[in-house]
């Protein structure tokens, strides 16, 4: 971005400059964080006046700050210092509206003092939001810079999970066998999902521990079915039995080891096999990304062969379709070209060709792709990669569990993503969260399971 000022000697009466700005909900959050003004009238998601909808009113000083943006960046520009500003707030602006901030020189005085008429106008109807007058000390020294770079800001909120929970809200409550919800964390996620009518939980495990966890949370379990099963193994088997008998449409992992739950699920006689491999998908809400990002398989299949990767990819595509996404599966490797010495690149090329021939259905598949050119359009262009997936992948199929686990945790702990976890390929969706996951991850996992289950029922 090039920036250039106008010195006091260059400025003329009538000189004008303007700046357009679309107000976004993130702008409101950033301003609240910077200013300490947490008036909920100005924040997304709050209904302060009780009319049933979020107000999302732009703070008056935020709209006025657009005037300062014109003065400091454009006219007079760098070197300008405020002396005085009057403001009259005529209307209110809201998130989603485009504003036009304009300044016009009306007077020059000896000593470098400039007076400017200032106003902020709503672009859609020319309504004046703010007007006033500014007095500034204009710069005396000419300044031009051709490459001004300001670091971007990332708002750490999880709009994609909010949208998934909203998508699940009108669906029937998913009857869910919750296995071993014997700690506050594992029980709370199920109860929050029940509060939102996303699931109807059946709690299976040590009844005394379940009641103790509920007491610690300050919650009553009246009306919720509890099946007393002291052992983790027995609780996992009971969860599978409820699913096989049609009493439950999903299984949710509580506070037990994943291996104990999976062992019951893969049992040939009493488990939940369907003929397709069980695969795990993380649905990740990464701040700043335009849609959820699916990472698979990072939890079950350790070193998947080509046949297993077919199921991993197909399961993820079907889940993406259920969530309303346009599936674009990037098959990851260390490189974007086929190298016979790197098996993951060979597998990726075969999966891509299998999708071309209809052996994998429902979405676009491309590989091998390195991580950068899977998710970044500029990196894909640099490598000369074209097609629907390169630079735009929303499904990342990893070479093995090491890479998948590292990728998912990097997104969570470095990029501040939230992760919902689901096992696919069983007779019912299996909600599989880590024991360290918070309530939002568990709630979103329930929403994903409900959306996928009822989407599959409708096919």
155-194 per-residue burial string, b: 16 or more CB within 10 A, e: under 16: bebbbbbbbbbebbeeeebbbbbbbbbbbbbbbbbbbbbb
Instruction: Give the domain 158-273 fold.
Output: Rossmann fold (3.40.50)
C-alpha closest to that of 254 among 445, 438, 431 = 431
Q: Output the pLDDT for position 159.
A: 82
Which of these CATH numbers, 3.40.50.620, 3.40.718.10, 3.50.70.10, 3.10.129.10, describes 277-425?
Answer: 3.40.718.10
Kindly report the pTM of this predicted structure: 0.75
Q: Is 3-145 a CATH 3.10.129.10 domain?
A: yes
For 170-226, what is each residue's pLDDT tens digit? 999 999 999 999 998 889 989 999 999 999 999 999 999 999 999 999 999 999 999
Provide block-wise average pLDDT over 10 residues at a time, the chain (459 residues).
Answer: 92 96 90 95 91 93 96 96 97 94 96 97 96 97 88 75 91 96 90 93 96 94 94 95 95 91 90 92 90 95 96 97 96 95 97 96 96 92 91 96 95 90 94 77 92 85
Q: Output the pLDDT for position 459.
A: 56
Domain layout of the chain by residue ranges: 3-145, 158-273, 277-425
How would you class 146 by CB atoms within 10 Å of its CB: exposed for 0-12, middle for 13-18, buried for 19 or more? Answer: exposed
Q: Output the pLDDT for position 435.
A: 65
Q: Do the domains 277-425 and 3-145 match in fold?
A: no
Pairing type for strands 144-145 and 225-228 reads unpaired
Tokens of 411: 């997104």
For 216-259, what is each residue's pLDDT tens digit? 999 999 999 999 999 999 999 999 999 999 999 999 999 998 89
CA dihedral 244, 250, 251, 253 (to 10 degrees): 170
Q: Output the pLDDT for position 124.
A: 92
């Amino acid at each position: 971005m090039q920036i250039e000022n106008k010195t006091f000697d260059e400025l003329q009466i009538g000189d004008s400059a303007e700046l357009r700005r679309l107000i976004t909900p993130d702008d409101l959050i950033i301003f609240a964080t910077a200013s300490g003004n947490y008036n909920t009238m100005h924040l997304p998601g709050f209904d302060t006046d009780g009319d049933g909808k979020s107000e999302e009113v732009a703070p008056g000083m935020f709209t006025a700050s657009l005037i300062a943006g014109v003065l400091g960046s454009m006219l007079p520009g760098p070197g300008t210092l405020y002396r005085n500003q009057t403001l009259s707030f005529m209307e209110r602006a809201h998130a989603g509206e485009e504003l036009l901030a304009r300044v016009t020189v009306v007077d020059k005085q000896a000593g470098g003092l400039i007076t400017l008429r200032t106003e902020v106008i709503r672009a859609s109807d020319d309504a004046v939001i703010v007007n006033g007058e500014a007095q500034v000390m204009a710069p005396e020294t000419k300044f031009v810079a051709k490459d001004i770079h300001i670091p971007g800001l990332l708002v750490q909120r999880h709009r994609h999970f909010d949208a998934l929970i909203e998508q699940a809200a009108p669906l029937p409550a998913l009857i869910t066998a919750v296995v071993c919800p014997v700690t506050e964390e594992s029980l709370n996620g199920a109860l929050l999902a029940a509060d939102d009518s996303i699931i109807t939980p059946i709690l299976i495990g040590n009844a005394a521990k379940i009641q103790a966890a509920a007491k610690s949370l300050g919650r009553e379990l009246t009306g919720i079915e509890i099946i007393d099963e002291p052992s983790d193994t027995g609780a996992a088997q009971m969860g599978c039995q409820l699913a096989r008998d049609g009493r439950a449409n999903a299984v949710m992992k509580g506070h037990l080891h994943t291996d104990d739950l999976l062992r019951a699920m893969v049992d040939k006689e009493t488990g939940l096999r369907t003929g397709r491999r069980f695969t795990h998908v993380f649905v990740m809400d990464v701040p700043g990304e335009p849609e959820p990002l699916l990472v698979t398989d990072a939890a079950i299949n350790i070193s998947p062969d080509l046949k297993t990767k077919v199921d991993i990819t197909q399961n993820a595509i079907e889940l993406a379709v259920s969530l309303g996404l346009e599936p674009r599966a990037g098959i990851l490797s260390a490189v974007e070209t086929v190298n016979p010495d790197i098996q993951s690149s060979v597998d990726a090329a075969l999966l891509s060709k299998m999708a071309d021939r209809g052996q994998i259905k429902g979405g676009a598949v491309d590989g091998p792709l390195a991580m950068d050119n899977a998710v970044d359009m500029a990196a894909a262009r640099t490598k000369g990669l074209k097609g629907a997936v390169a630079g735009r992948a929303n499904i990342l199929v990893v070479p093995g569990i090491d890479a998948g686990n590292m990728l998912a945790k990097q997104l969570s702990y470095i990029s501040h993503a939230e992760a919902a976890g689901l096992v696919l390929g069983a007779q019912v969706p299996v909600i599989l969260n880590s024991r360290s996951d918070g309530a939002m991850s568990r709630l979103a996992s329930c929403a994903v399971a409900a959306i996928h289950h009822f989407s599959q029922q409708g096919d």
